[in-house]
Amino acid sequence: MLKVKNLKAGIEDSQILKGINLEVNAGEVHAIMGPNGSGKSTLASVIAGKEEYEVVEGNIDFEGDDLLELSPEERAQKGVFLSFQYPVEIPGISVSNFIKTSISEQRKATGMKPMTTKDLLKMMRDKMELLNIKNGYLSRNMNEGFSGGEKKRNEIFQMAMLEPKLSILDETDSGLDIDALRIVANGVNKLKNKNNATIVITHYQRLLDYIVPDFVHVLHNGRIIKSGGKKLALELEEKGYDWITKEADNKWDKLKI
Amino acid sequence: MSISGFSEFESNTNDSILNLNKSLSQNGFTISIDKNTVVESPIEILFISTTETNFSQYRNLISIAENAEVKFVERIQNLNNSSSFVNNFTRINCDKNTKIEYNKIQNNTSESQLIDTVNVYQEQDSTCDINTLIFGGSFTRNNLNFEQNGFNCESNMNGVSVLDNNQLADNHTFVDHKSANCRSNEMYKGIYLDNSKGVFNGKIMVRPDAQKIDAFQSNNNLLLSENSSIDSKPQLEIYADDVKCSHGCTIGQLDDDALFYMRSRGIGIEEAKAVLTYAFASEAIENISVDQVKLLSKKLLAQKLNVELDFSV
């Protein structure tokens, strides 16, 4: 589904991603872990199409399309979804209005008929139940005055409504207490099926207790330095990042010589 | 309630435009609302001109007797593409404990000029809201003058201006707090595209005996092109010492992070801009109580921003 090849990208003069290779297939859950500043969020932003980042080399293929040629909205319309680390507050637009606009624009772009208000409301109610969201939420302004947990839950709610093929969850666990974490993780698990894929970006192993990954990648200094199964995450929790980052640094230092 | 045509009445003024209106006007309306009457449906007033090179002076009088309540929707429209000049003057007398909402929709053709003056005289316990919605016209000037002559009066003004091409809209407001324990509240939102220009001049006067006044004024502006501009000028003149008066003015562009957020949800860039622009204006639009006016404003806004979006959920 997603093939990232030798991706090098940065912002202004500093290069952040220094050659990322990643392949994600339908039905898989990938976890990307790594210390602060390793490039995790940059990778997520580049896949979603944030324009501040400049791609200098490499490519991203999504189901045969060259993602880097597409605008952020076109990527979303193809089925790429980013759950933001810091969701943006938009005063003046209600959650229901935002989601309605988003769904109708996506359907328009893909040549589908608009959804009736009745169907839309029913779908919203079902998905709200899935995520334990209380009534009254739909008429609140988008993320305005939301707590950290509510903002993250709102991201997953949008994901549930838009039914993307590829979901990238950027630090969805940060700022969540254990109950909220469980609800969000349950939601993600219920939305998972053999046709979609999920990339979970996180610092901590904790989230991976609930969303069990098929693959774990460690990102350090703009490169994936180690990949493995779910056991790798447990190992990282126990030993920290140092043991692999040092190993990798040594290797790159040698190469420079 | 009585509704009739033009009637002559006095207006003490040195203003040349109002003097022009007084000397030439032969058209307009006179509306009186009897005391203790609540008029359920809004009264719609239409000024339509169809002639070439229209030059009109309208003079209108509204009198609302004690404990009455009424809402108005006024539209001034030139249907002819030739040049047009309208000089409209409305006097509103609000007796004790009255409640009035006056909605003005000004969506004129690009050759039309409009000067619209409303003088409001408020007695004790009265509330008067005037909402000014400008969607077009080469030159649109609104003068709103409130005089509070009794305790516990409230004057509210909401404004939304959405302009493009070379249009200019100028909102001048003046609230004269002559009496104690009164309030005034102004919220003007301006959205400027292309080479359009906006002016906001809001003056609040608090007279020496008018203690415990709570006056608030805000003017927020979105400049959506390099060549659009806004001149904003708040003026406070305060002679009492126990009052709360504040004002704020902002000028800015749409938030890039919010735009990316919306685009990442599949909303195209023009639509995303339009939704954010609507969100910006909605605070003022939501203060309007007549649903049809709200709906029409949303429709006209979408039209002006050239998107097919329905903001009404």
Report CB contact under 8 Å: A93, B278: yes
Q: How far apart are CA A247 and CA A243, in angstroms?
A: 6
- Asked whether the predicted pLDDT for residue A153 surpasses 70, the reply is yes
Domain with B23, as residue range(s), is: 2-255
- The number of folded domains in chain B is 1
Give residue B163's pLDDT: 96
**Residue A159 banded pLDDT, cuts 50, 70, 90:** very high
Amino acid at A109: A
A154: chain B residues, CB-CB within 8 Å = none
Contact between B145 and B116 (Cβ < 8 Å):
no
Does the interface ipTM go beyond 0.95? Answer: no
Give residue A247's pLDDT: 80
A156: chain B residues, CB-CB within 8 Å = none
Q: What is the mean pLDDT of chain A?
A: 91
Q: How far apart are CA A148 and CA B203, in angstroms?
A: 41
**Residue A239 banded pLDDT, cuts 50, 70, 90:** confident
Residue B215 located in a structural domain: yes
Amino acid at A252: W
Q: Identify the segments of chain B with pLDDT beneath 70.
A: 311-313
Q: How many residue contacts between A and B have a Cβ separation below 8 Å?
A: 77
Residue B296 located in a structural domain: no
Which stretch of DSSP H or E encloses residue A50?
A: none
A71: chain B residues, CB-CB within 8 Å = 263, 269
Please name the residues in contact with A112: beta carbons below 8 A apart, sequence gap of 6 or more: none
Q: Which of A231, A196, A226 is nearest to A213 (CA)?
A: A231
Mean pLDDT of A71-82: 96
Residue B231 located in a structural domain: yes
Residue B281 located in a structural domain: no
Report CB contact under 8 Å: A51, B260: yes
Q: Which of A65, A53, A20 is nearest to A38 (CA)?
A: A20
For chain B, what's the residue count?
313
Give residue B233's pLDDT: 96
- Asked whether the predicted pLDDT for residue A257 surpasses 70, the reply is no
User: Tens digits of per-residue pLDDT, A20-69?
Assistant: 999 999 999 999 998 888 999 999 999 999 999 999 999 999 999 999 99
B311: chain A residues, CB-CB within 8 Å = 97
Mutation site, B187, B189, B254, B267, interface A, largest A CB count within 10 A: B267
A97: chain B residues, CB-CB within 8 Å = 311, 313
Q: Which of A71, A63, A23, A20 is nearest to A43 (CA)?
A: A20
- Cα–chain center distance at B194: 22
Report CB contact under 8 Å: A96, B313: yes
Q: How far apart are CA B170 and CA B164, in angstroms?
A: 14
| Structure token digits, residue A251 | 């290797």
Place of tokens 């899935």: A130
Is B263 an 8 Å CB contact of chain A?
Answer: yes
Report CB contact under 8 Å: B275, A105: no
Q: Which residue of B has its CA nearest to A94?
A: B313
- Asked whether the predicted pLDDT for residue A174 surpasses 70, the reply is yes
Residue B115 located in a structural domain: yes
B309: chain A residues, CB-CB within 8 Å = 101
Domains of chain A: 2-256 (3.40.50.300)
- Asked whether the predicted pLDDT for residue A136 surpasses 90, the reply is no
Report CB contact under 8 Å: B267, A50: no
Q: What is the largest CA-CA distance in chain B?
A: 60
Residue B308 located in a structural domain: no
Report CB contact under 8 Å: B268, A48: no
Report CB contact under 8 Å: B266, A109: yes
Residue B289 located in a structural domain: no
Give residue A256's pLDDT: 63
Q: How far apart are CA A60 and CA A19, in angstroms?
A: 12
Mean pLDDT of A132-161: 91
Q: Which of B141, B198, B155, B170 is nearest to B21 (CA)?
A: B141
| Structure token digits, residue A115 | 């959804």
Q: Pairing relation of β-strands B2-4 and A65-66?
A: unpaired
Q: Which of A72, A91, A93 sits opposite B263 (nearest CB)?
A: A72
| Structure token digits, residue B70 | 């009424």
Residue B297 located in a structural domain: no
Q: How far apart are CA B212 and CA B209, in angstroms?
A: 10
Give residue B312's pLDDT: 62
The nearest CA of chain A is from the CA of B258 a distance in Å of 6
